[in-house]
Each structure stands twice: as structure tokens, then as C-alpha cells.
Amino acid sequence: MLDVPGLRFSGSKPQKTLWQNSSPRASSCSGYSRPSVFLALALVVCLAAGACCFLTGCKRSQPAAGPEGSASSLPPLSDPTLAVLGRLDAPLELRFYSILDPASVSAADSAFSGRVDQLLSAYEQAGNGKLKVVRYTSQSNLKPNAPAADGIQAFNIDKGDPCYLGIALAYKGKKESLARLSPDYEPAVEADITRAIARLEDATQPVPAPIAVSQLNTGAVQQVKALIPDVTSVSVDDARRLIQNANLQELNAAKKETDAQVKEAEQRYAQAQAAGSEADQQAARQRLEQAQADQKEKLDAIFAKAAAQLEAFQQLKAATR
């Protein structure tokens, strides 16, 4: 799922996620009087907490998380997502269906479901009280036909109990759904959720006048025409899938490259910390922060390009009517 507000890259992929960071460790101390030990321990805890906050990239303040985990353990949301959430002016409900039969679902799929759960907790925290996540994790708390009514797709029916892994969204009487999430598209999960929210917001707004083709992003128009020569014969949903697939390879390549850069920066920081040089630690911290910023910038650029392509397609299609 890419946006990006705009795109629906349904599913997710089982790679190292953007929010997985390492935390520095505090050292222990011994051989001092009881008051000295207490003071030393307090100092070490403070220093370790500060370093952990820095490495996890805490650039936004968030309230403490609930039972799903502390705020610092939740994945950071992108700026486009925060912008979309900031426009909510009514309650939004996200229904997370994660009903997985251990006999037919792999451990990797279960772990992926857990990461999606944490991502939804981050959405709830950033929703300023307007976003609520409802979780369905077993057949016992599931009403008959509820998944089908919400557009959630059952799978592994031939292997045992029906499994569900999807998200339904309800806002101002309108619905959107991500029918089945897949680990194969994990980097796009946030973009898919955000775009679904944006579509619900757009559906409640007055319809704007069509934009003249001459006012569109020229690059996006050319890319769409190359990908979809006849826009009149392709639906918006089909176009979304075509654009998703066209950008997925670039997304995966960028994610792999930037993951390697972040990992290298983390290792350098750990080495500098072990060496005990404050100057080396400062330089390593700066490299790590820059690597994380570069990663976010590259992925956001791909999301934005995909969103521009979908918008261009919609306007090209409207111009042919």
C-alpha cells in the first residue's frame, strides 16, 4: 500500500520495519557505599533513557501508550499521515480483524499482524481522541457475517478455521476496507491506511470542479499515459493496483538500501559507545540521525509520486467524460 494519501497497496511485507531501532545499554556499577550506589544508578538510568529516546528518533511527543505498548515502542507515523489525521472532524473507527488459526498460519504472518496492531495503536494515539481502534482477535468476539459486512476477505478456509487479516474503516456513515493485508506489502501498510482515511474524508466534502489537464503534474501525466494508454477502459481500482505494482519494485529497493545504511549507522554508534569517546559518539549519532532522515525522505518521495500518478489518472479519466 503506498501514500500516501491516494493509493491502496493492500497488504504489507515482512521486512525489517522502519520503527525497529536499537537502544543503548546502561552499564552497572559496584564497590561504593549505599548512597553512592543509588546516585550512580540514578545517573546511569537517566543517561540510558536519554540515549534510547535519541536512537528511536523521538521527534514528536506522544502520550503514553495503553496496553499495546509504550509510546516510545510505537512506530513513528509519516508527516502525510499526521496531516490526514489532523483533518478529522468526526469520530473515525478502525476495525482490525486479526483472527488467525495457528494450525494454518505461519509464525511470520502472526508477527506481521502484531506489527500492524502496533501501527494502529500509533494511529489511535495521533488521532487526538477522534480515532478509535476496535480489535477482533478471535471467533468468540465476532458477530456472524461481520467480516463480510465490513468487506474483509476470509482465507485458509480449506485448511481449517477461516482466517481474517484486514482493516475496515467507518467515518460519517461511509466505509472503506483493506480486505486482506499481506506481509509481501508491509512497507505500504501505513500508506494504504492513510489513503483509505483520506478517501473517506474526501467523500464527505463537496465535489470540486475538475482540474484542466494542462494544470496537472506533467511528469505524473506522462507516467500514467505510459502505464495506462487508454484511461477510459480502466477503473480507478484497477488503476490503483497498476500504479501500486509499478512503484512497488522501487519501494522495495529503496527500503533495502536505506535499511542497510541505518543498520551500519547503528553499528557505528554502538562501536563508538563501547570505545567511550564522546566525540566519536556524537559523530555516530549524527550519522544515524541522517541515515534515518534519508530513509524517510526516499520512501515519502515514492509514496508522493504514486499519489500524484493516481490523481493524474483520475483527472485524465474525468476529462474524457
Residue 186 has pLDDT above 50, yes or no: yes
Residue type, 27: S
pLDDT of residue 156: 92
Q: Which three cell numbers stand for residue 72?
A: 516510545
State which H helix or E strand residue 164 sits in.
Answer: strand 163-171
The alpha carbon torsion through 299, 302, 306, 307 (nearest 10 deg) reads 60
Q: Is the pTM of this model over 0.85?
A: no
Rounded to an integer, what distance in angstroms lies between the CA atom of residue 1 and that of residue 251? 10
The whole-angstrom separation of Cα 88 and Cα 90 is 6
Which H or E element spans position 175?
strand 174-178
- What integer pLDDT is reported at residue 197 of this predicted model? 95
End-to-end CA distance of the chain: 28
Nearest CA among 74, 165, 189 for reference residue 126: 74
Residue 154: what pLDDT? 93
pLDDT tens digit string along 231-278?
Answer: 888 888 888 888 888 888 888 888 888 888 888 888 888 888 888 878
Q: Output 281 or 205, whichever has higher pLDDT.
A: 281
Q: Judge whether 65 and 121 are in contact, CB under 8 Å.
A: yes
Q: Which of 11-25, 67-81, 130-144, 155-169 has the lowest mean pLDDT?
A: 11-25
pLDDT for residue 44 is more than 80? no
pLDDT at 278: 84
Binned at pLDDT 50, 70 and 90, residue 146 comes out as very high
